[in-house]
Amino acid sequence: MYVAVKGGERAILNSYRMLDDFRRGDRELPELSVEQIRAQMPLAVSRVMSEGSLYDPQLAALAIKQAAGDLIEAVFLLRAYRTTLSRYGYTQPVDTGRMRLSRRISSTFKDLPGGQMLGPTYDYTQRLLDFSLEAGREADALPQGVAMPGVATPDDSKPDSAMPRVTDLLAQDDLIDAEPVPEGDPEPFDLTRQPLGFPATRAARLQNLARADEGFLLSMGYSTQRGYGNTHPFAAEIRYGALEVEMHIEELGFAVVVGELDITECQMVSQFAGNAEEAPKFTRGYGLTFGYGERKAMSMALVDRALKANDLGERADSPANNHEFVLYHSDNVEASGFVQHLKLPHYVDFQANLELLRRLRAERGAAEPAASDDARNDLIDEAVSP
């Protein structure tokens, strides 16, 4: 605590009140509701859910409101709340091929089984400020039968089984690395309950990346594209849609649907030259996020592939190839806490450094005259020597 602050506990309580007032803003304007944030800021909600490792749009919207729009603070709030929840079961493995799609694109094949779905995206906008929004323009309603993300209609109530994954098409011709289930199908690593260790398995790496800071992954992924890595990636497929989640009920003896998630999935493919044991093929990079988060999913896939360099016998001398560097520095909650702890009192440490600096300067000052005398004597000796 800042013991020199006048008022002590009363000052801290007043700081809380000032924060509430700062968050509320101009009281002449209507207060922003949690429902408005959830419905009208879906990209922010998706990011907070992913990095907070808790799928709950309502709680994510509440965290954003409480944090006054600071998404990293909102992630911190959601993770802290998550630790108070009991875990009462595990869902069945999900098959993303059964997603009810709102968007599906591929940059590797022009014509895909089932076609490409542009869906909601900023990709084709001109990035010009739309001042009509400031004037309160209402968005045009979707045509009848067009699906909204996360909302089923009679026409899209079934999964898109006619839209196979691009990587599955490549796997049919043995052109991409296989990803078989490990022998014995061991229980997967759980990053929320087990400490991260090295060498980290791919399951542990993917869990770490799934809740890593989007900006950090974007920077790491970008570095691989600029030459700090050995990959030349292609976006094989990006999917966004809703996916049913099932849980096996012991009393019933079968699995039942317990809910539905909106997720974004990205499959990157990169070239692999092969070696003495393996023929040339494509290799995968994988990204998945809660909600709608294409940039995060793409960045995650790029970094996932970069972290596989050692496994493939490739040169691994770039930052994005270094497991410890990437995995230890990707967590925005830990990074934010470590940076912001510098705001806390460090009086004792600083005073110790200050005293040490003064002593070193004093010792240096005392030694300088003697050094000057020695140098002057050396010059005299050189001048008078034959």
Confidence at residue 215, expressed as pLDDT on a 0 to 100 scale? 95
**Residue 126, domain member (yes or no):** no
Q: What H or E segment, with its residue span, contains residue 84?
A: none
How many domains are contained in the chain?
Answer: 2
- On whether both 325 and 302 belong to a single domain, the answer is yes
**Residue 137, domain member (yes or no):** no
Give the whole-angstrom CA distance, residue 22 versus residue 34: 17
- On whether both 181 and 44 belong to a single domain, the answer is no
| Pairing outcome for strands 254-272 and 100-105 | unpaired
- On whether both 58 and 163 belong to a single domain, the answer is no
On whether the CB atoms of residues 53 and 332 are closer than 8 A, the answer is no
On whether the CB atoms of residues 241 and 95 are closer than 8 A, the answer is no
Domain span at residue 77? Answer: 9-82
Give the whole-angstrom CA distance, residue 202 versus residue 287: 12
- On whether both 105 and 56 belong to a single domain, the answer is no
**Residue 115, domain member (yes or no):** yes
- On whether both 225 and 196 belong to a single domain, the answer is yes
What is the layout of strands, in order, in the sheet containing 234-249?
A: 100-105, 234-249, 254-272, 281-290
Confidence at residue 216, expressed as pLDDT on a 0 to 100 scale? 95
On whether the CB atoms of residues 244 and 262 are closer than 8 A, the answer is no
**Residue 226, domain member (yes or no):** yes
- On whether both 46 and 104 belong to a single domain, the answer is no
Give the whole-angstrom CA distance, residue 164 versus residue 101: 12
On whether the CB atoms of residues 289 and 43 are closer than 8 A, the answer is no
DSSP assignment, residue 3?
T
Q: Out of 31, 58, 82, pick the residue that ends a domain.
A: 82
**Residue 2, domain member (yes or no):** no
Q: What H or E segment, with its residue span, contains residue 324?
A: helix 323-329
Determine what percent of the chain is predicted with pLDDT higher than 70.
87
Both tokens of 133, joined, read 């929004």
Angle at 132 between CA 262 and CA 35, to 5 degrees: 35
**Residue 274, domain member (yes or no):** yes
**Residue 157, domain member (yes or no):** yes
Query: In sequence order, what are the residues at sequence separation of 6 or more whose Cβ sits closer than 8 angstroms to the Cβ of residue 229?
Result: 223, 306, 309, 318, 320, 321
- On whether both 236 and 260 belong to a single domain, the answer is yes
**Residue 207, domain member (yes or no):** yes
pLDDT under 70: residue ranges of the chain: 1-7, 144-162, 273-276, 368-386
- On whether both 76 and 113 belong to a single domain, the answer is no
Confidence at residue 177, expressed as pLDDT on a 0 to 100 scale? 83
- On whether both 51 and 163 belong to a single domain, the answer is no
On whether the CB atoms of residues 213 and 51 are closer than 8 A, the answer is yes
- On whether both 287 and 333 belong to a single domain, the answer is yes
Distances (CA, A) of 50 to 54, 126, 131, 147, 150: 7, 28, 31, 23, 16
- On whether both 161 and 250 belong to a single domain, the answer is yes
- On whether both 57 and 110 belong to a single domain, the answer is no
